[in-house]
Structure 1
Amino acid sequence: MSTLHTVNKSPFTNRSLESCLNHCKDGDAVLMIEDGVYGGLAGTALAEMVAARAGAVKLYVLAPDAHARGLGEDRLLDGVSPVGYDGFVDLVTTHDRTQAWL
C-alpha cells in the first residue's frame, strides 16, 4: 500500500517536511503544496535531506503554488517534479491513502 503525503507548511517555519520524509516508506510520494513548495528548492539548508529521499520516494511540488510564490521550475532539486492540479488528482487516485502533514 502506498501513501501520498502532502506537506503545506514551509520547511523553514516548522518540521512537517522533515517528519514526513522520515516516516515515508519506499514507494510513497510526497506532494509539497502551498508554502510547502519551498522544500523542493535546490540550494537550501534542507536540500540534501530532501534529495536523499528522491528515488525511493517520489517527490512533487504543485506548480501553480510554486509559480504564485515566484519560484520557477529551474529552481527545483533534481528528482522533484512539478505537477498541476490534474497531476494532484492523479496522485490521489493512484495511491491507496493520503496523509496530510500539518
Structure 2
Amino acid sequence: MLHTINKSPFETCTMETCFRFLAPGDPVLFIEDAVYAVQAGNRFSPMIETIQKNNPLFALQPDLSARGIEDVISGIGLIDYEGFVGLVEEHQVNNWL
C-alpha cells in the first residue's frame, strides 16, 4: 500500500500516525508541506532514517523546489509527477490528510 502524506510534521502528527500503520515494504510519498519532513538535519531525521530501513520513502521534487528545499535526507527517492502516477498505478493508496 502506498501511503501519501501532505501535512507538515511541524504542524500535525499525521506523519507519526502514518508510520504506526506501515507494513514492511509499504512505500511512503511526501507531498505538499509534508516534504519539510525530509529536509536533512531536522528533528524528524532520525525517525525517517529508522523508517527507511524497512520502507522506501519518496518526496515529490516539484514540492521540494517550491519550498526551496535542496538538501534532503540520504536515501529519499525524489520523483516527478510521472513518478507519482507510477507509484499510484502500482499500489493501492492510503492518503493521510
TM-score band w.r.t. shorter chain = over 0.9
Q: Who is 1:33 aligned against?
A: 31
| TM value normalised by structure 1 | 0.91
Q: 1:43 to 1:33 in 2, by over 3 A?
A: same
Structure 2 matches for 1:1-102, cutoff 5 A?
Answer: 3-72=1-70, 75-95=71-91, 97-102=92-97
Q: CA deviation at 1:42?
A: 1.4
Instruction: Please give the alpha-carbon distance, in whole angstroms, between the structure 2 residues aligned to 1:49 and 1:94.
Output: 26
Give the counterpart letter for 2:14 in structure 1. Answer: S
Does the 8 Å contact 1:55/1:79 carry over to 2? no
| TM value normalised by structure 2 | 0.96
Instruction: Please give the alpha-carbon distance, in whole angstroms, between the structure 1 residues aligned to 2:65 and 2:20.
Output: 27
Instruction: Please give the alpha-carbon distance, in whole angstroms, between the structure 1 residues aligned to 2:12 and 2:57.
Output: 19
Query: RMSD of the alignment, in Å?
Result: 0.8
Identity %: 40
- Any gaps of 5 or more consecutive residues in structure 2? none
Give the number of aligned pairs.
97
Q: CA deviation at 1:55?
A: 3.3
